[in-house]
Structure 1
Amino acid sequence: MLSMFKTQIFYVKIRENSFNIKCIDSGENIVLDAKTPFSSKRLLIGEFEVAEKLLRSGFKKLIKGFIAPIAVKHPLELVDDKLSGVEEKIFREIALSAGARKVKLWLGDELTDQELLSV
């Protein structure tokens, strides 16, 4: 019963036209490949509405309870040394629009479940 009120953490790895979402609490993992592309040649998320709709569908499949999740977004492609301000805003806004209550961005090596808890 208390699990209905626990905040879930979703680790969202982003590749061209694909989201890999893992719920850290349950270990459940889903991969969503876009039927309609959302990436462009220069941007991992070039079509906001298409990507937001796909991400929202993934969140709905994984959310257990009433509390919106925290999303740790990890772009894995089309990223140089750092993100531009526009890219940061896109990654944050898309997760919030999809149903996250808080968003953290991560650049670097893929994170373990334990590392995700401290990000």
Structure 2
Amino acid sequence: MAIKKALRIKKKIDFDNIFSARKSTANKKFVVYQLPSQTPHFRVAISVSKKLGNAVTRNRVKRLVRHALMPLSANLSQTDFVIVCRKGVETLTFAEVQKNLMHVLKVAKIYHKTEA
């Protein structure tokens, strides 16, 4: 299952608005830039620099981040955010990516664990 089109950020103006808001949170592996959204759901973009490796490596990292994000999606606040992957993410396992991603989203107050 992929992240639906309505939940993705693709337009340059959306990226510019998020980056110009200058609200970011980081840990060792990810930086999250965020902007409160008017949509009833979150929207996300994943950015992986060419410094991390070739196209195969970058696409693998994006796929890992997308899959790590899916189980968290029910608990994400209505925010537009860009996840920037830092050097070292390409060597992590799926569990490590999920743990680091959850940590940075909690610190950014985007991920809110609901008690069931």
Fold agreement, TM-score > 0.5? no
Query: Larger relative contact order (C-alpha < 8 A, sep ≥ 6)?
Result: 2
TM-score category (smaller protein):
0.3 to 0.5
Instruction: Give TM-score scaled by structure 1 length.
Output: 0.32
